[in-house]
Amino acid sequence: KLWKIFNKKYTDTGLIKGAFSAPGRVNLIGEHTDYNEGFVLPMAIGKKIIMLGQLRNDQLVQVFDLVYKTKIKFSLDSLTPLKKDTWANYLMGVMDEIQKAGYPLQGANLIFISNIPQGAGLSSSAALEVVTALTMAKLNSLKIEPVEMAHLCRRAENNFVGVACGIMDQYVSCLGQKNYALFIDCRSNDYELIPFKDHNYQVLICNSKIQRGLVDSEYNI
């Protein structure tokens, strides 16, 4: 179904294409300790962002958001933060950091859809960063290891979006596995997968409907 939508939006370039996903997360222990170099224990959740993409033979990137039915386009040659369509800054920031790290990028046609509740503290922004990094890396045949990808995504949020976040959200979106929590020492960036299924635990996530935003909040002071 998503490929049918993709094919209606874009003309086939004949180049590499693929579908990729990245999960949201819930944090079990360690609120506000990742950016203070403490310990955290998050885990990936089943809610995720799916992105479909096809490589272009130029520097143009076109993105269609299936959640809000909005479309943007920009060039990889001139990436600057936007005041409007702020979700686009997460994608642009990731592409900017990939290029700054020395990886060459070509443009792409992209669509994405998400079932992660936005503003609910489940890290939809980190999932968007990670799925963008993964998609662009695969389409451009780049070998970027998960840990490096997580750091690229964090730098994108710090430097391009303007959120002074820690590494937790990007780490667990890149490294999280089903039935495991992810222990992270945010000072050394060492991590360990902690088996969760063996203990017969279940995690219940409640949506309070209170929106959470970081860019303009006191979090960023």
What rounded mean pLDDT belongs to the chain? 92
Long-range contacts of 118-122 (CB under 8 A, 24+ apart): 118/211, 119/211, 119/212, 119/213, 120/207, 120/208, 120/211, 120/212, 121/212, 122/24, 122/25, 122/26, 122/45, 122/47, 122/205
Residue 95's nearest CA partner among 50, 49, 48, 62 is 62
CA-to-CA distance for 197 and 193, rounded, in angstroms?
A: 12
Q: What is the pLDDT of residue 53?
A: 98
Please give the share of the chain, as a percent, with pLDDT higher than 90. 76
The number of angstroms, rounded, from the C-alpha of 135 to the middle of its chain's C-alpha atoms is 10
Q: What is the pLDDT of residue 215?
A: 53
Per DSSP, the three-state class of 131 is helix
Q: pLDDT-derived band of residue 214, with 50, 70 and 90 as boundaries?
A: low
Check pLDDT > 50 for residue 176. yes
More confident residue, 62 or 121: 62
Check pLDDT > 70 for residue 220. no
Domain chopping of the chain, boundaries: 2-220
Average pLDDT over residues 56-75: 95
Residue 53's nearest CA partner among 170, 157, 149, 140 is 140
Q: What is the pLDDT of residue 216?
A: 52
CA quadruple 173, 175, 180, 182: dihedral sign: negative
Structural fold of domain 2-220: Ribosomal Protein S5; domain 2 (3.30.230)
Distances, alpha carbon 109 to alpha carbons 12, 57, 76, 170, 173, in Å: 9, 11, 13, 24, 23
Q: What is the pLDDT of residue 219?
A: 47
Q: pLDDT-derived band of residue 196, with 50, 70 and 90 as boundaries?
A: confident
Average pLDDT over residues 167-171: 96
The most confident of the ranges 119-128, 137-146, 196-205 is 137-146
User: Is 169 one of the catalytic residues?
Assistant: yes
Catalytic residue among 34, 65, 96, 169: 169
More confident residue, 209 or 80: 80
pTM for the full model? 0.92
